[in-house]
Amino acid sequence: MRIAVLGVGLIGGSIGLAARERARAEVVGWGPRRKTLETALALGAVDRVAPNVEDAVADADAVFACAPVELLPELVAQALAAAGPDTVVTDAGSTKRNLVDAIDDERFVGGHPIAGAETAGVENARVDLFDGAAWYLTPRADTSGILFERLHRLLVAFGARPSAIDAQTHDRMLAAVSHLPHVLANVLVTQAASDVADDEPLPRTGPSFRDVTRVAGANSEVWTGIYLSNRDAIAYEVDAVIERLAAVADWLRSADAEALRTWNDSAREDRRRLLEAGLQGGSVTEMRLSVPNRPGIVAQVALALGKAGVNIADMALSPAPDMRSGSMTLWIAGDDDAERAKQLIVELGFPAAVVEA
């Protein structure tokens, strides 16, 4: 298998390392900066460096576009123009709607790994960066099922946990769990630093302040793009936070101990639920379904399960010899999820058989 990585920073470099070591793929890298490419080559994140996008993409089975979000529409279009009919093209951008709306091609699947590190740059790339990490995929109804399955399997090989989601829901969710935390961290440090008279020292900060503000002032080049590309959803979240804060200020001013306690208790419970939602437990069930071999089926099944929070640990497609139908095998983690997956598949109109391990 040959993989092209366009942009070999922290994410692209880690994709290269994982693809080479865990998927035994040949990795071709391209990027705008010569020095970064040389570092990627020296670190073993790519097998070779291509002089341009066209050369990198030629004969690739999968292409990962890893660039700031505002550059992705052009980069992905360029990759698709150069890629063959059997190449899946994806990206690693933090927002998805702008890009998915701009690209009308059955070979494209929007992607977003929920992984990162405090320190960007290919020199911090790691083969295990995606271990256990959620990796959102945003297929559309016309996305090629075969290409989607290839990408899904590749991400599982990387150690990630891909799940399908529609682009709009993705952007709304990410506004709440990623972009908003960055906004609040920025506001917190700005306020703590400015809320001091000229003749006073800056306040001493403790470990919790450091944690809460770790993402403050993240790379401006990257984040200005993210803020703009998801600005409606983020502004909506900011408005909602303002409303919640106004309520808290009221409770404080009226010394409403009961309201503060209830709010604090529910925050603890909400955090527990949110963190557990990211965990995967129980055994893995293998499930086989017969599906007509037409476009959109794979995306339809993946989106239905993704929407219900069911994690597809892995998937495989096997077309029938006449290519008019095929079987799709899914591995579902967690006993409850397996039961739900079976129901959902039956509701979609496909017969599902559970294969005992």
In the list 141, 193, 346, 355, the residue contacting a second copy (rule: CB under 8 A) is 193
- Residues 6+ away with beta carbon under 8 Å from 187: none
Of 353, 355, 347, give the one whose Cα is nearest residue 300. Answer: 347
Q: Which among 32-40, 47-55, 222-230, 285-293 is the span making contact with a second copy, rule CB under 8 A?
A: 222-230
Residue 215 within binding range of a second copy, rule CB under 8 A: yes
- Phi-psi bin for 293: left (phi > 0), alpha (psi -120 to 50), beta? beta
Q: How many residues bind a second copy (CB under 8 A)?
A: 94
212 binds a second copy (CB under 8 A): yes
Asked if 103 and 118 touch (Cβ cutoff 8 Å), the reply is no
Closer to a second copy by CB, 215 or 316: give it. 215
Is residue 163 close enough to count as binding a second copy by CB under 8 A?
yes
Interface segment toward a second copy; rule CB under 8 A; list 5-13, 19-27, 234-242, 348-356: 234-242
Rule CB under 8 A: is residue 290 a binding residue for a second copy?
A: no
Residue 54: which H helix or E strand, with range? Answer: helix 53-57
Q: Are 348 and 300 in contact (CB under 8 A)?
A: yes
Contact 107, 85 (CB under 8 A): yes
Q: Which is nearer to a second copy, 48 or 214 (by Cβ)?
A: 214
Q: By CB under 8 A, what part of segment 241-260 binds a second copy?
A: 241-242, 244-246, 248-249, 252-253, 255, 257, 260
Of 61, 91, 149, 237, the residue at the interface with a second copy (CB under 8 A) is 237
- Direct distance between the N- and C-terminal alpha carbons of the chain, in angstroms, rounded to an integer: 29
For residues 113-152, which are near a second copy according to CB under 8 A? 114-116, 133-134, 136
If the CB atoms of residues 257 and 323 are measured against a second copy, the closer one turns out to be: 257
Could you say which of 86, 195, 335, 336 contacts a second copy (CB under 8 A)? Answer: 195
Paired tokens of 55: 């050369």
For residue 6, report the phi and psi dihedrals to the nearest 5 degrees.
-100, 105
- Under 8 Å between Cβ of 198 and 137: no
Rounded Cα distance, 157 and 222, in Å: 28
Least distance (Å) from a second copy to the CB of residue 152?
Answer: 16
Pick the binder of a second copy from 74, 86, 101, 265 (CB under 8 A): 265
In the complex, least distance from residue 263 CB atom to a second copy, rounded to whole angstroms: 6
In 86-200, alpha helices (H) = 97-102, 145-158, 167-174, 180-194
Among 130, 148, 223, 331, binds a second copy (CB under 8 A): 223
